[in-house]
């Protein structure tokens, strides 16, 4: 993501806007209904896109799933805009891949959340990727920058050698995280933590990212330890509140239904004004096997 996003809140955006397989996101945004407008011209197979190529343009592989809300939002709010359609006609080739159908390609590029858009060269090598949803102007700016080699992982690694910057280090860690570089991501997040104050925003975001990595890897004990520590150290901050939700999610994914219910219920009691109350209450009902009451007209 762009450096401008690297302030308190980027992690909330990333976690809320990236759907994780076999789980639900905290954000309760309803799916955007499809419009009748077409989306940008695209291929559904990378091999077919390569075969049809007549120049050396780059390719954007949009990995999506049928159940991903933010994937639909990309189609209906970004990819269907005329200037975007023109861009994928004149400057870059779009390839839309259902990651649950072409699982081999998703595995090749180590896709762990949706939507994930991987920009590649004609030989298939990765330039960089966009993880999650962004509004059209920001999304297209990132693509244009990547085309110029700006803001890519290689670009950031060169820049940080010349002048260390914690926000840049966080961005490097985040890029490694989403392209499967687990150990490199851990190393860079640890550097961000070591170079900062124990309770500053980048430390909080780095610790949350490390716990999230453990959750995605199904290392539930490590995830619970990480989220619990964040709750204690940032109990009066939004990220501490988010960690409580993700602690409950971790219990649920671990199969500990009673602990998941208890943690969600504690969240509701502790944060009656939270925007995530509805989500927590729905999870409690699902875990208890209760049906939602129909809404009155």
Contacts 24+ apart (CB under 8 A), 165-169: 166/192, 166/195, 166/196, 166/202, 167/3, 167/6, 167/202, 168/3, 169/195
Cα 60 from Cα 149, distance rounded (Å): 15
Q: What is the pLDDT of residue 19?
A: 57
> Residue 47 has what pLDDT?
96
Return the C-alpha torsion angle 192, 198, 202, 203, nearest 10. 60
- Measured CA to CA, the distance from residue 18 to residue 4 in angstroms comes to 19
At residue 16, the pLDDT reads 46
Rounded to 5°, the CA angle 23-25-29 comes to 135
Q: Any residues with CB less than 8 A from the CB of 22 and at least 6 apart, and which?
A: 253
Confidence at residue 4, expressed as pLDDT on a 0 to 100 scale:
33
φ, ψ of residue 36 to 5 degrees: the values are -85, -5
CB 215 within 8 A of CB 241: no
| Cα–Cα distance measured from residue 105 to residue 101, given in angstroms and rounded to the nearest whole number | 9
pLDDT at 295: 45
The torsion angle over the Cα atoms of residues 159, 180, 68 and 248, rounded to 10 degrees, is -100
Task: Provide the b/e sequence for 141-169 (b: ≥16 CB within 10 Å).
Answer: ebbeebeeeebbbeebeeebeeeebbebb
| Angstrom distance (rounded) from CA 249 to CA 246 | 5
Residue-level pLDDT at 149: 97
Burial 228-260 (b: 16+ CB within 10 A, else e): eebbebbeeeebbbbbbbbbbbbbbbbeeeebb
CA distances from residue 27 to 165, 225, 227, 277, 291 in whole angstroms, order as listed: 31, 23, 18, 11, 21
Give all domains of the chain, ordered by start, each with its CATH number.
3-151 (3.40.30.10), 154-288 (1.25.40.10)
Predicted pLDDT of residue 292: 56
| 32: DSSP letter | P
Radius of gyration of the chain (CA): 20
Segment-wise mean pLDDT, segments of 10 residues, the chain, 297 residues: 36 48 42 56 96 95 96 96 96 97 97 95 97 97 98 98 97 96 97 96 97 95 98 95 97 97 96 93 93 49
Q: For position 38, what pLDDT does the model report?
A: 74
């Amino acid at each position: 993501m762009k450096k401008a996003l690297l302030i308190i809140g980027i992690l909330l955006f990333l976690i809320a806007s990236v759907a994780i397989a076999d789980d639900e996101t905290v954000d309760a945004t309803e799916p955007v209904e499809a419009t009748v407008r077409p989306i940008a011209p695209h291929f559904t197979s990378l091999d077919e896109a390569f075969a049809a190529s007549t120049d050396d343009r780059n390719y954007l592989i949009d990995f999506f799933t049928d159940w991903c809300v933010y994937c639909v939002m990309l189609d209906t709010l970004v990819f269907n805009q005329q200037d975007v359609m023109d861009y994928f006609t004149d400057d870059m080739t779009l390839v839309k891949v259902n990651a649950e159908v072409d699982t081999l390609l998703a595995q090749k590029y180590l896709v762990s959340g949706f939507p994930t858009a991987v920009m590649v060269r004609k030989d298939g090598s990765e330039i960089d990727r966009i993880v999650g949803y962004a509004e059209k102007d920001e999304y297209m700016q990132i693509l244009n920058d990547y085309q110029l080699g700006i803001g890519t992982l290689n670009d950031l690694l060169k820049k940080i050698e010349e002048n260390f910057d914690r926000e840049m280090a966080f961005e490097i860690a985040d890029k490694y995280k989403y392209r499967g570089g687990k150990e490199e991501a851990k190393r860079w997040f640890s550097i961000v933590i070591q170079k900062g104050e124990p309770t500053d925003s980048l430390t909080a975001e780095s610790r949350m990212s490390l716990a999230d990595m453990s959750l995605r890897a199904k290392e539930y004990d490590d995830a619970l330890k990480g989220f619990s520590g964040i709750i204690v150290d940032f109990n009066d901050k939004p990220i501490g509140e988010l960690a409580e939700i993700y602690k409950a999610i971790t219990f649920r994914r671990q199969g500990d239904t009673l602990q998941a219910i208890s943690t969600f219920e504690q969240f509701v009691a502790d944060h009656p004004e939270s925007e995530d109350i509805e989500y927590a209450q729905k999870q409690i009902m699902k875990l208890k096997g209760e049906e939602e009451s129909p809404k009155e007209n």
